[in-house]
Structure 1
Amino acid sequence: MLRLLVLISTLFLASFTAFASSLYNAEVPVEDSDTATELAAKQQAMLEVLVRVSGQSEITENPVVKKSLGSVDTFISSVGYGEKNEQKTLIAGFESSKIRALLIQADATFWGEPRPYVLFWLVEDGANGRNVIWEQSENDMVSVLKAEGERRGLPILVPVGDFDDVVNVSVPDIWGGFVNPLSDVSERYNPDGVVLVKIRRNRLSWQLYPKFADMKYSAPVSGSESGEINAMLNSVVDQIADQYASRTAVSLGNDATNTTLLSVSGLQSSEDYFALERTLKGLNSIASMELETLSKELVTYRISLLSSEDVFNNELTVDRRIRKQDADTEIVDGNVVPLRLNYRWQGIAKLPVPAPVTTETVQDGTSSTEIATEVATEGTEQDIQSTEVVDNGGDDSQ
């Protein structure tokens, strides 16, 4: 039992650090090593990279992209072979500068980093009732979901299902989409967004709360799918990745004509200032920035944007150390025009760390961790039973 809880804690921490796949690398299965097979695999790898980097699932149909596949070797920086799930694979790395140049030619967008971490709560309505699919449940859907996230460059988290999860959220909470308990229990994972997925046989419905901080106060983006489970999960991840990309992706071909002032307050030290500057310089929506003024707790830059102010705001506030404030505005020809964009620096955001695993032997020789797990299991069974009672007298629809 102790080993299991240690494993759960390890999985929790790894969720935030193990998403190491490069935006410009792809691994695709191959049947053999002949020339035609290798060429097709390279082209598939290039399409995966273009979808991941552009943030557009439909870019594979772009005429410029289709034409470029004929010269795929000119975009490749490295190639090799590997193995995944007992299947031989081709691993290709692509030149970032050439991929970005192709996106400009294709009039496509660029979706850079950082990418949002998205927490998925999944409930399956099966023959034995409704059950939550946890990270450590060894359900194939978890590995499929994470593979789809890697394909799109979207870091996906799945709750581990330890004692804290099981006692703080119930199956009816997730199935019913009750945001208060879900928001509270999700906070320990420090996600940028939360997705609720309900699965019943060959049907699936989902709800996305794109900004976790606003989960209790905003309506979700929702959708539904039908068909084979892997295909449904593929479609869900595509739609969610497209949603996030539409909020923060920029067009590399745009001229930086949108110039404005940006002020950030709340800086407490030189470390805060340099951390803020690194964050701003890493944004894809900023073409250039110049320091205007620097005083105690406040810095002002003149920035040139490659995007709209909405896209800039969405990209900047992915970093939860920064919060938007009311802008300084003026009225021009009856329209409200921002004079200065105002934000506040809230300090270094820390990831939550699971409580240390301890054991305490009670009189009958059973450890406290074993008792906790038994209580959690009993709670889950009660949730399923209570849900079945509701189903017998209520609406059975999703």
Structure 2
Amino acid sequence: MRYLAWLMMGLMSLPAFALTKVNLYQTEVVLDQQQDNADAAARAAGLQQVIIRASGNKDAASNSVVQKALGRTSQYLNQISYAQQDDAKVVRMGFSAPNVRALLTQAQLPFWPQERANLLVWLVEESDYDRSISWEHSDSALLKHIRLAAAARGLPLTLPVGDFDDITGAQISDLWGGFSRPISQASQRYATDAVLVVRAQGSDLRWTLYDQQAESMISAPKTPLNGQASGADAATQMVDELSDYYAKQNAVVVNGESSQAVLAAFKPIDGAIAFFTLEEQLQRLSSVASLDIVKIQGDEVTFKVNLLTSEAEFEQEALRIGAVGKREAPPAPLGAPVPEVTPQPLSDDASVTDEAEIDGAAVPAQESSADPISPTDITPVLAEPTVAQAPLAEPEPLLPALPVLYFSWQQ
């Protein structure tokens, strides 16, 4: 029992990790009813938000593969509804997690997992030489901007509630001065992974990130991360820097096979110009995520095509290229072994006639010599051919087990 008690006490003393699971795939967009194709634009904006949040990369929407996907949102969207907020109509969307992750893989973008560090935010705002802490329920425009920016990047934030314990435990002077011990003591009641102290003077922000749990700030302190931002978008700048910091630590690029891929064989490709022209035309197709050269043999080039759509849609798009046509699959190679032919011995009563028949035609037999010919003097007609000894060729690499489409190319 004594050992069990010590074990329980040890487990209770371990810090609790407060990683928060972020909902990456749900979003909502205000519908601009004055815009042409407003629904399509809203769906594209929703997918763009999800891609940025899931990748941890604010520039992810400019990726060429993602740009193609923004025009084909239906294969990523699995839920949509409409709601009224104030005077605006809002589109609420849910996107398929596996399909979004597959798109990130095709675009070679990182994936920032849903379990992310939760930051406790102490925001101190100065106005007319008066400083105040913005609590969770505060009506602060800056706090609202910070929350919106954090939601867009998928960065979890926790705001102090501003109850009696917070008001008596957190001193504005300690927060403004960056004194780690009182900040640690005031923050320990919140189970977060890091503590962020923000000091705002007008449109200028200075911030300090203690990237560790509050109780560790004293027992095992780390050097804090400092930064500053200014201007109308200062809150967004700060959140972007913090999000980039955590995404760089935790995001990974998944080097996996595309969930949709096909082999496409083109011939005749009779030179470098034809090859590069074909490659460029294929990469422009909205159904194509990326291309890999699998094989070049003679005048035939085989690509592995990573798809954003179905195989049928890719084939239809490829055939709309002026120089591309469809051709039949080549016949399967003859792989069956040639049957061995064994010469049959002559029977005892066999006789040599004056004529022999070759391929149905009568051919005069050669005159026989005076001496009889024994069977041992006859050279067999069917003899094994002599094969020059040569080193064995390297086996040809196997192609992926993917369907193959055959096209002609006439440039």
TM over 0.5, shorter chain: yes
What do the CA deviations read for 1:296-324 (whole angstroms, capped 9, x no partner)? xxxxxxxxxxxxxxxxxxxxxxxxxxxxx
Q: Which has the higher helix share?
A: 1
Q: 1:113 to 1:22 in 2, by over 3 A?
A: closer
C-alpha RMSD of the superposition = 2.4
1:134 aligns with 2:162: no
The amino acid that maps onto 1:38 is D
Q: 1:118 to 1:41 in 2, by over 3 A?
A: same
The amino acid that maps onto 1:180 is R
What do the CA deviations read for 1:153-176 (whole angstroms, capped 9, x no partner)? 222111112221122221111111
The amino acid that maps onto 2:171 is S
The amino acid that maps onto 1:241 is S
Give me the identity figure in percent.
Answer: 33
The amino acid that maps onto 1:239 is E
For 1:135 and 1:220, the matched residues in 2 are separated by 24
TM-score by length of 1: 0.55
Contact preservation (8 Å) 1:210, 1:244: no
1:219 aligns with 2:220: no
Q: Which residue of 1 aligns with 2:244?
A: 242
For 1:202 and 1:113, the matched residues in 2 are separated by 32
The amino acid that maps onto 1:63 is S
Q: Which residue of 1 aligns with 2:83?
A: 82
For 2:76 and 2:255, the matched residues in 1 are separated by 19
What do the CA deviations read for 1:206-233 (whole angstroms, capped 9, x no partner)? 12122225434111222211111xx222
- Deviation of the 1:180 alpha carbon: 0.8
- Deviation of the 1:55 alpha carbon: 1.5
Q: What is the aligned length?
A: 237
For 1:75 and 1:105, the matched residues in 2 are separated by 14
The amino acid that maps onto 1:140 is A
What do the CA deviations read for 1:136-195 (whole angstroms, capped 9, x no partner)? 332233333333322222221111122211222211111111111111110101111111
For 1:45 and 1:93, the matched residues in 2 are separated by 9
TM-score by length of 2: 0.54
For 1:32 and 1:223, the matched residues in 2 are separated by 40
Contact preservation (8 Å) 1:27, 1:45: yes
Find the structure with the greater CA-based Rg: 2
1:205 aligns with 2:209: no
Q: Which residue of 2 aligns with 1:98?
A: 99
Gaps of 5+ in 2: 1-17, 258-411
Q: Which residue of 2 aligns with 1:339?
A: none
Identify which of 233, 236, 245 aligns with 2:235. Answer: 233
Q: What secondary structure is seen at the aligned counterpart in 2 of 1:189?
A: coil
For 2:246 and 2:47, the matched residues in 1 are separated by 21
Q: What secondary structure is seen at the aligned counterpart in 2 of 1:246?
A: helix
Which of 154-163 and 183-192 deviates more?
154-163
Q: What secondary structure is seen at the aligned counterpart in 2 of 1:132?
A: strand
What do the CA deviations read for 1:305-357 (whole angstroms, capped 9, x no partner)? xxxxxxxxxxxxxxxxxxxxxxxxxxxxxxxxxxxxxxxxxxxxxxxxxxxxx
- Deviation of the 1:21 alpha carbon: 6.7
For 1:101 and 1:167, the matched residues in 2 are separated by 50
What do the CA deviations read for 1:113-134 (whole angstroms, capped 9, x no partner)? 3222111111111115111111
Gaps of 5+ in 1: 1-15, 256-398
